[in-house]
A and B are shown apart, each in its own frame.
Chain A
Amino acid sequence: MNAKTHYLYPSALFASPEPYQITTILGSCVAVCLWDRVLQIGGMNHYMLPLWNGAGLASPKYGNIAIPALVEKLERMGSEKKNLVAKVFGGGEVISTSNSNFNIGARNIVLAQQTLQELNIRIVAHSYGGSSGRKILFYTKTGEVMHRFIQQTTIEPKENGKI
């Protein structure tokens, strides 16, 4: 597949009408991959926390901003919401805590489920929770996502940010 590659940083989002291979690495962060079945285009976000609480900039670091922003971005490229499907990854508890307020991974996942349900976008595949990190590869042309688990110590993209 000769798609261009894009390494997605945390707090960023990316979508393109051209075929891309988007890569990212997740710990407790969640990445939502949205794919348009009709136009065969897609995009991905990578948020770190579920809700923007008014602190700092209203950036896609927060799920409640990142998911609608990605949908809007695809809509601007001609997508219709009814043609979008979602794949959700990440949200591992790489650091374990006892207070339920701190289970960031789990809260990130719940936010993705709720937000996508409100937007009427079906989650067709997912791999979330657990205690390890993940490396994922999303082909925006076909909607395929490859993913593998990684140990925290190996969370380090190779040269060029590519795999």
Chain B
Amino acid sequence: MKLSDKDLIDELKRRFDENSQALTELKEMASELQRVNKKLTESEKLKSNFISNINNEIVNPFASIVGLAHSLAHLKEGNWEKVKVMAKLIHAEAFSLDFQLKNVFKAAEIEAGEAAPAYSIVNIPEIIDRISEDFKLEALAKEIEIITDVCNEIDFFKTDVDKLSIILNNLISNAIKYSFKKGKIDLKVCLQNSNLEITVTDYGKGISPNNRDLIFDRFERFDSGINTPNRGHGLGLSVTKALIDLLDGHISFETEINKGTKFKVIIPNPGDWVKIDGFTGNPDELFFNQPDIF
């Protein structure tokens, strides 16, 4: 076969192009590798921070609960107001402990590959009410108002109530954490094309540009210096993200420094084929064995 000069030059040109494209891809890969390497080193460091954090996060609330319960038991009769205050404090500490531990165990469950959705028909307004009620004390401490808005058309929605609660708890807890004093938080739930759309908006610090890519990583805590009053172990949003993935949903956020952050979560309707375990209002509802009263 005879090649003309033009064919030859074209072929050469094509090969050069291919070469330079391969080189660009290689460069991209190399820089990606460097980035990942750095991240994994940091991840190890963060993991050891986590161990020392957890000490504060778990041991301290327990100590307060033990102390408060002790005082409660030794209170003089008729001091009803004091009892109520202490019970509220115990509840707040226990609630925060429960919340933290749920995140830790959920993270462990996800990392072990044992998390699976368990669908039921969920009373959405009831869940929203409960969550705003649960965080009332924490919000009150910073004089923050949580404004909930559940669209009229929503009553029941088929989803995993346990996972939905953890998602909402984390978003609200973060919103409180990064709000300024005397702020407000908007929690809005609507139906969008038969999917559940949740937005949580705070008007606080916002997320700095350097941190925007990191917020869903585990053990990442911003503003975690020794003097900050913020609690947490940096698992919340990574758990939130993984649970939303599990429900086939999507999370996105908009943020502006000192203006606030708006998280938007979409949880799809799982469709009719999904098996339902039952109706659920409150996942924390307790059932006790009733002794025979009759």
Say whether, besides A57-B239, A57-B242, A159-B273, A12 and B25 are in contact (CB < 8 Å).
no
Complex: A54 Cα to B112 Cα, angstroms: 16
What is the minimal beta-carbon distance from B287 to any residue of chain A, in angstroms?
A: 25
CB < 8 Å: which of A11, A101, A159, A160 contacts B113?
A11
The reply to whether B238 and A9 form a contact with Cβ atoms under 8 Å apart is: no
Answer yes or no: B117 CB below 8 A from chain A CBs: yes
A66→B110 CA distance, assembly (Å): 11
B66 on the A face (CB < 8 A):
no
With contacts A55-B217, A57-B238 known, is A100 near B25, CB below 8 A?
Answer: yes
- For the complex, would chain A's binding face be called helix, strand, loop or mixed by DSSP majority? loop
* Interfacial chain A residues near B39, Cβ < 8 Å: 53-55
In whole angstroms, how far apart are the Cα atoms of A142 and B242 in the complex?
Answer: 33
A158 to B274, CA, bound (A): 8
* A-chain residues with CB within 8 Å of residue B25 when the two chains form the complex: 100-101
A55 to B217 CA separation, bound complex (whole angstroms): 5
Q: Which residues of B contact A161 (CB under 8 A)?
A: 274-275
Across the interface, do A45 and B36 meet the contact criterion of CB distance under 8 Å?
A: no
A163: shortest Cβ distance to chain B, in Å?
12
User: Bound state CA distance, A78 and B288, in angstroms?
Assistant: 39
CB-CB < 8 A to A56: which residues of B? 216-218, 238, 241-242
Q: Check: A13 CB closer than 8 A to any chain B CB.
A: yes
A-B contact pairs, 14 of them (CB 8 A): A11-B110, A11-B245, A14-B113, A45-B113, A54-B39, A54-B43, A56-B217, A56-B242, A57-B239, A59-B111, A101-B28, A158-B273, A159-B275, A160-B275
